[in-house]
Each structure stands twice: as C-alpha cells, then as structure tokens.
Structure 1
Amino acid sequence: MRNRHGRQEHRSVETFDVSGQLDPAWDGLIVQAARVYRLTWVKQPATGRWTERSETAFYVCQIPLSAADFAKAVRAHWTIENRNHHVRDVTLGEDHSRIRVQPGTFTRIRSFALNILRANGVRNVAQARYATALNPDKLFDYAGS
C-alpha cells in the first residue's frame, strides 16, 4: 500500500507461466505473464471524500520472475516515465514543440540538458529553470564532473 498525494493504492500481482501455451510463433519469446490489479482511493480536496478507482494491467516477460520482482520491474518502468518523459513533456514543453524538421536533434538537446541537471543533483527541474531565469549567472553553476 502506498499513501501519497491524497491517494491510497493497493496492488496485487499474479504471475502465470505461459511457456508452451501460446501460438508456436510466440514460443520462446514470452515465457511469463503477469496481472497487476490496482485499487486506488483518491481523496477529493473539495469534499474530503474518498473515491474508488481500479484497473487491471497485463504484462509479459521473456524470463521467469517472482511476483515481487515483476512488481519492482513495473514500478521501475514508471520511474523512467515520471523522471524523464513527463519532465520533457511538461517542464520542457516537448509535446507543444512546433519543430518539424529533425525534431530528434532537439530531443537530444533536451535530454542532454536534463542529464546535466540530474548530474548536478537537481531533483526539481521546473524550480531549477525558474531559478536560472531569475539569475542567469546560475547557469554556469551547472558543471560536469
């Protein structure tokens, strides 16, 4: 159970050995599947009431894992999504970019900037951008090691 940001989340993970049970084209590619059931209670700030939300997600894997290891792998995936893709989309405005010619170049530049900030111990990129906007000299404080 996790209790953060006005939410309580309960998860259950079940794993299934599917080797030899799929179409022969999949034989050897997928050996295990998992079902992750999430039950989340979300607190509504205006009323103080808790509303229930649930979802079931299915995952497949090429190696056998315990349910606990599968749960860790799923959480690790969302860590990448939240620390990288979400930051690039929201803080750096990547989804609103109008660059149509070679957008990959600018994507790499954004990733490079994030890597420099992370290497310098920045945990909140939005705050770092704001502080740099107020004091451009702060930009030179970010140096590689």
Structure 2
Amino acid sequence: MPPKEPAPGPRFARTTEKGHGRVEHRSLESTVILTVHPKWPGLKQGFRVRRWGIRKGKAYEEVVHGITSRPPEKADAKRLLELVREHGRIENSLHYVRDVTLGEDACPVRRGSAPQVLAALRNVSVHLLAHVEADNHARAIRRLAARFHEAINLLASPL
C-alpha cells in the first residue's frame, strides 16, 4: 500500500479499476513548482503517478513521473490521470499491432539506420491497414495477401 495520500482535489486524484482478475489502484499528484525553471518554456505542470495492486497473485507498485504543457485550470489531477490512462491504452494498442501482428520484437535487424527505417515502414503499414475493410489488422493483412489488386490500389490511393 502506498503512503498516506492527500484528499482528492485539484492537485490529487485516485482511481481503482477491477478487471482481468486483478485490482489496480492509481493515484496522481501534480505540481506547478517546476514551471519556474527558465529551461522549461511551456511547462505548466509536473506530476507523479503511482500504480499498485495485485497482478498474477503478486503485489506490485510502480511510480512514473511526467510533465505537461496543460495548465492546471485546463487539466486538474483528475483530468491528468484520465489522460495518462488514455495514453497508455493508445500505446498498448499500437505496440500490440507493431509487435504481435507485424513482428517488430522478433525482427533480427539491430544495426545502423535499418531499425528506424523498418519502424517507419511498420507505422505506414498500420496507417494503411486502417483503411482496409477487416475486423483487425491481421485479417486486413490476410485479405490483402489474397487480393493483390486491392493492395496495389491501397498503395496508389491518395488517403
């Protein structure tokens, strides 16, 4: 369990989510004290997110820090916590497609600029696959493999 936390308010928020056989708690504390530093133009808030719970029968706690250009009047602690959670969902879904569907982690290419070139090509692929009529990216890939003319038309279209 984390240390005693402040009461909910503009600088502190907490959530609890249950699902997938686990309970996860999240708390966010924000501060504007970092905004006085002249090397951080545009910085409006800093924050700390704590996540803790039980995953696969084991207790865990994670702490991450972040910064944002959103001022407190546009994003209090509760809103920041929502934005952090949404960012995680987007990252996880993109990572899943790139890693599992497109095999990024299994790729043996590790030297020079080739990994960055391949990452850029995977990003283009994800964008193009979003325009294919299919339930998911894997089905879109199979559809294009079976319908070569659709793949060529997709590459030639001005999306």
Deviations 1:37-60 (A, max 9, x none): 111222x3xxxxx32111121111
Flag structure 1 segments of 5+ consecutive residues without an equivalent: 45-49
1:47 matched residue in structure 2: none
C-alpha displacement at 1:118, in angstroms?
Answer: 2.5
C-alpha displacement at 1:100, in angstroms?
Answer: 4.9
Flag structure 2 segments of 5+ consecutive residues without an equivalent: 1-15
* 1:3-82 equivalence runs, <5 A: 3-18=18-33, 19-20=35-36, 23-26=37-40, 28-42=41-55, 44=56, 50-64=57-71, 65-82=75-92
* 1:110-121 equivalence runs, <5 A: 110-120=122-132
Specify the SS of the correspondent of 2:94. helix
C-alpha displacement at 1:66, in angstroms?
Answer: 0.7
Cα distance in structure 2, aligned partners of 1:12 and 1:54: 11
Specify the SS of the correspondent of 1:94. coil
Indicate yes or no: 2:106 matched with 1:89.
Answer: no
Cα distance in structure 2, aligned partners of 1:2 and 1:138: 43
Specify the SS of the correspondent of 1:120. coil
C-alpha displacement at 1:12, in angstroms?
Answer: 1.2
Cα distance in structure 2, aligned partners of 1:114 and 1:120: 10
2:11 matched residue in structure 1: none
Structure 1 residues 97 and 84: CA distance shift in structure 2, 3 A: farther
Specify the SS of the correspondent of 1:112. helix
Cα distance in structure 1, aligned partners of 2:62 and 2:112: 39
Aligned residues: 133
Cα distance in structure 1, aligned partners of 2:133 and 2:79: 28
Identity %: 29
Q: What one-letter code is carried by the residue in structure 1 that aligns with 2:46?
A: A
C-alpha displacement at 1:98, in angstroms?
Answer: 2.2
Q: What one-letter code is carried by the residue in structure 2 that aligns with 1:67?
A: A
* 1:90-105 equivalence runs, <5 A: 90-95=100-105, 96-98=107-109, 100=111, 103=114, 104-105=116-117
